[in-house]
Amino acid sequence: MSAAFTAGCVQFTAGPDPEPNLREVTQLIRRARDAGADLIMTPEVSNFIESGKRRRDKARREADDPFLAGMRELARETGAWVLVGSLVIDPTGEPGADVQKTAGEERLANRSFLIDAQGGIVARYDKIHMFDIDLPGGESYRESNAYRPGDSTVVAETPWGRLGMSVCYDVRFPHLYRALAQAGADFLAVPSVFTVPTGRAHWHVLLRARAIENGCFVFAPAQWGEHAGGRKSYGHSLIVDPWGE
């Protein structure tokens, strides 16, 4: 690590339409920058939360995504580095894109972007571990029906040190974070949309464990509240130091 810096986490409740989500996140990033943040991070799927065919219809290719374009412009405007926790991205036409249809739709990418103060995309990371789970009480999720998993770990250079990138459910797989730390990561990003039951049970302890076992700071911006369709997210955005505090 080099000079000291200030990190900020954005917490909000994404709706099904990208435009109002972009407006809200833009306001929150400006507030964080005004408060002195140098690196500002948003949660998982910041552009929208939607399901089924509606999600597929709203997904845009990286070059055409208005939320990503807005974040790049905002980084240039504010002079901050921005980690867009992840966006729902249509990977059609990309080298090696998976166009296999699952549950009637082509699979998308759950992609994180690190943007520098000039608006350039420094790094991309596609979420590796899919949230396929049955919860007590009848809730179940099959993220792999909608998204193709990534296949590469990413450690990115920043002015303050090296950032290891991950997304949400990845946090349950400690070998990923060991690989990031061994590759030189000083900080670990875990943008998320944890459910209320899993968050209440495991969110804090998982983030503290990843920090302690790897000797890294952990940045975990999270969505919270009730989304369209009734899903509820846990929130509790955290920054954890290497001592687990």
Among 9, 50, 62, 168, the one annotated catalytic = 168
Q: Which residues contact 62 (CB under 8 A, 6 or more apart)?
A: 68, 89, 94, 111
Q: How far apart, in whole angstroms, are the C-alpha atoms of residue 176 and residue 83? A: 19
Left if phi > 0, otherwise alpha if psi is -120 to 50, otherwise beta: which for 172?
A: alpha
CB-based burial, 136-170: b 16+ in 10 Å, e otherwise: eeeeebebeebbbebeebbbbebebbbbbbbbbbb
174-182 and 204-214 helices cross at what angle (nearest 10)?
30
- 44 a catalytic residue: yes
- 58 a catalytic residue: no
**Side-chain half-sphere of 89: how many Cα atoms within 13 Å?**
30
Structure tokens at 76: 């240039």
Among 44, 50, 62, 216, the one annotated catalytic = 44
Structure tokens at 169: 């459910």
Among 9, 62, 127, 216, the one annotated catalytic = 127
Q: How far apart, in whole angstroms, are the C-alpha atoms of residue 12 and residue 213? A: 29
Q: Which residues are catalytic?
A: 44, 127, 168
